[in-house]
Structure 1
Amino acid sequence: MAVEDVRPSVDPAIASDPTTSGVARHRPPTAAPDVEDHSVGAALVALLDVASASTSDLASIVGAVGSILGARSARLLVADYSLNSLRYLANEIEDGHGVPPAMEGTLAGRAFSRGETLVSGDRVCVPVSENSERIGVLEMDHPAWEEVPEDLIDPVVRILTLILVSKRRYTDAMLRTRRTEELSLAAEMQWGLLPPLSCTTPKVSVSGILEPAYSIGGDSFDFAFNADMVEFGIIDAVGHGMSAVLISTVAINGLRNARREGRGLESAYADTGRAIASQFGDDAFVTGQIGSLDLPSGNLSWLNAGHPLPLLIRNGAYADELSCRPSIPMGLGGTVKEVAVEHLQAGDCVLFYTDGVTETRSADGDQFGVPRLVDFLVRAVNDGLAPVETLRSLSAAILAYSGTGLSDDATLVMIEYHGP
């Protein structure tokens, strides 16, 4: 695990962060682990014993991790829905909504965005992620972090991550913590529909994000890793709010059903279109792009149902838009005009996006536009940002460009091919 020690100075944003004052030390675990026993096996058994004692007491599990690693106290910070801030889980349990620390300019925020363990004085921040799905940050007060065995840290944090991923199916604690503002009912439904925001393997990285996070309507995306294939879709349902999210729910599940039944892209398009028409009539439709990436060959197959053409970044430069003859949106009774195939090279990045991205307007009325989008992508790739951080930064840039909030949903899906 990469560790950056920024001693002796303490991050001033952290030192003055009001959310760190009054944060309770972790509650003792049900059965306190032996902190003197640094064997990996004993540590993991102790942690699993604590985890099995409760479905919803996540703070005790985090506390057990801190004890195993020799920390004076430990807290879990969870990323909010928009990935712009981190929130203390303990505060959520005890006080409702705490003041969220900003993602930018804080030690925890830097650890989250960079995916690295950072140390400042006695403060230690360890990113908590699973296959690049970023959950949050384990923050500890630790007087002797450099003395903790490296072969103990990695497995303990990995097991903590797997426990949190498992437990969040049974408790609302983490979902409540993620909110910095009220989530609309439509957004609640849409977030429940989404896959993890990112996944990375040695061969490929896939990431997605959508805004406005707290009032999203008809935009959605999906992906799945199956054998040597990544299958994906990005959609935009007609309308706004609840009506749009109901249509997108049928669309995403229609695409999933076709994928899980082993049908191809053309069948997925047709079957999903029929499901939309049968449930909502002739006026409902969904634009989108669905595709698959064959990992051994690098062949990207995809069809376009009325979305902007995806962008290809190759060798650190903008290559071109990928071309595909458009089919009409799903739900209007059309047929597939073309399944395009693009051979990706190792290092290629492809960005799929909805029109809300480029049509976002500034206070002066200027659109964000494709040139600005391309410029951001090229700079992010050349700065070495991972796709998940590229999309987080890009989403924040789009929101900042608007200034007054988005008038339409903006969704991004990025695929980076690492090679066979």
Structure 2
Amino acid sequence: MEDGAVDRSEGFGERLLGLLLDRAQLMPPQLIAPLIAEEVATIGGRDVSILLQDYAQEVLVALPGRKLRVSQAQPIADSCAGRAFARVEVVEVKQADGIRMYLPLLDGSDKVGVMALTLDAVGDDDRRLLRRLATLVADLLVTKDAYTDQFFLARRREPMSVPAEIQWSLLPPLSMSVPQVAVAGMLEPAYRVAGDSFDYALNDSILHATVIDAMGHGLDAATAATIAIGAYRHARRAFISLPEKYAFMDNAISQQFGPDHFVTAQLMHINIATGELELVNAGHPAPLLIRDGQVVQQLESATTLPIGLGGELPPIKEHTLQQGDRVLCYTDGIIEERVEGGEPFGEERLIACVNRLGKEPSQGVRADLRRLSHTLKKQRGGRTSDDATLFMIEWHGGSADHLAELD
């Protein structure tokens, strides 16, 4: 190579990852697994498993496929694969025949699952190459998921209702994390949810978020939620204010259903650079502000009528977050569930549970919210007779500009 020339020769790692990239466009979904197994074999790996999170966020289930090792479901709360998934870290376990590696599969910052494989020995070059391979595998799984039912069927652990299918197809990724802000959401009951939903988008420095609860159950509730989220996205993309978003959604629901249906909602803007939060409440329980793991207040705001009932334009309530603050939104299915003795679960029990779990080391927003959701369900006697949704935002502030700069 001449002096001063740029080296564009292909190295081993580029050839390995490039094969996936070169074939990705035309690759049928069912051939992704065999190709991944072949790629791992080129670096001496074997017994490859692709583990995907089930819809209830309780276990990781093995994706079936030619040349893949299909094992039993691995609990997220208590397994090596679960630790790699929850903590977003590579886990290595020494075995008699080598080292078993568990690599988190991330689509952006949303956790898809875990790739597991066995190597005789592991060096830094192996770790670097496999981390990059896992990232590419996650992107392929998410892309090809739009073309097949194969991944959905692997993740589904029990029959799912039609309204629940509608709601899951409507959701954004369950989590997102950038240096300034992170979000995560949970829907229960995962296989029978109907009228609850959430949505968010990060547009420049503003995080837009909403949590909704459509009245009723079944297809009527799912239809109302679909219209409400569709109207919200349309209004959000028109860059209008929170009160105007409320009015647009209100008009969409009232035109479709008349006075017979309504949707409670919370609408928020968060400036991820400054922590300034704008809040509009339409008949929803007030969000909880969590600081240093403890609930410090309810974020009250003037409440207008639920969406669809023709309420007046709601006033905006402003709050200022501190770095590390979390905002927890929830639907009334969390606090209105009846516990032993027939009384509602209530806000006091919810806050006590948040505070108790907040004393434990954090594993990140997604893992902490999943743990909270499962703990709350256990405290409610395992019952979720109404939709019960949790949505959490964690604000850090600062800038991410350094990520766009090459070292």
TM-score using structure 2 length? 0.88
Which one-letter code corresponds to 2:47 in the other structure? S
What is the distance in 1 between the residues matched to 2:90 and 2:358?
22
**1:384 to 2:358 alignment:** no
Q: How does 1:14-413 map to 2 (within 5 A)?
A: 39-57=12-30, 58-90=32-64, 100-121=73-94, 122-146=99-123, 148-382=125-359, 383-413=361-391
Cα distance change on mapping 1:99 and 1:319 into 2, 3 Å: same
C-alpha displacement of 1:65: 4.4
What is the distance in 2 between the residues matched to 1:92 and 1:270?
52
C-alpha displacement of 1:195: 0.3
| Residue 418 (structure 1) aligns with | 396
C-alpha displacement of 1:154: 2.5
What is the distance in 2 between the residues matched to 1:271 and 1:262?
12
C-alpha displacement of 1:50: 4.4
1:137-162 alpha-carbon deviations (Å, 9 max, x no partner): 10112221346433323322212222
What is the distance in 1 between the residues matched to 2:241 and 2:123?
52
What is the distance in 2 between the residues matched to 1:147 and 1:251?
49
What is the distance in 2 between the residues matched to 1:243 and 1:266?
26
Which one-letter code corresponds to 1:290 in the other structure? L
What is the distance in 2 between the residues matched to 1:303 and 1:126?
40
Which one-letter code corresponds to 2:369 in the other structure? L
C-alpha displacement of 1:108: 1.1
TM-score using structure 1 length? 0.86
What is the distance in 1 between the residues matched to 2:139 and 2:43?
17
Q: CA RMSD in A?
A: 2.3
What is the distance in 2 between the residues matched to 1:366 and 1:85?
31
8 Å contact from structure 1 (residues 368, 398) kept in 2: no
Cα distance change on mapping 1:42 and 1:417 into 2, 3 Å: same
What is the distance in 2 between the residues matched to 1:79 and 1:92?
20
Matched position secondary structure for 2:366: helix
What is the distance in 1 between the residues matched to 2:127 and 2:110?
22
8 Å contact from structure 2 (residues 33, 65) kept in 1: no
State percent identity of aligned pairs: 37
What is the distance in 1 between the residues matched to 2:28 and 2:217?
36
C-alpha displacement of 1:53: 4.5
Cα distance change on mapping 1:404 and 1:228 into 2, 3 Å: closer
8 Å contact from structure 1 (residues 69, 153) kept in 2: no
What is the distance in 2 between the residues matched to 1:93 and 1:171?
19
The range that moved more, 171-180 or 40-49, is 40-49
1:77-99 alpha-carbon deviations (Å, 9 max, x no partner): 0000011011110169999x985
C-alpha displacement of 1:51: 3.0
Matched position secondary structure for 2:61: strand
Which one-letter code corresponds to 1:193 in the other structure? L
1:209-260 alpha-carbon deviations (Å, 9 max, x no partner): 1100000010000000111111010000010011100001000000000001
1:275-297 alpha-carbon deviations (Å, 9 max, x no partner): 11111111110001011111122
8 Å contact from structure 1 (residues 92, 98) kept in 2: no
What is the distance in 2 between the residues matched to 1:405 and 1:245?
21
8 Å contact from structure 2 (residues 34, 65) kept in 1: no
Matched position secondary structure for 2:209: strand
Aligned length: 383
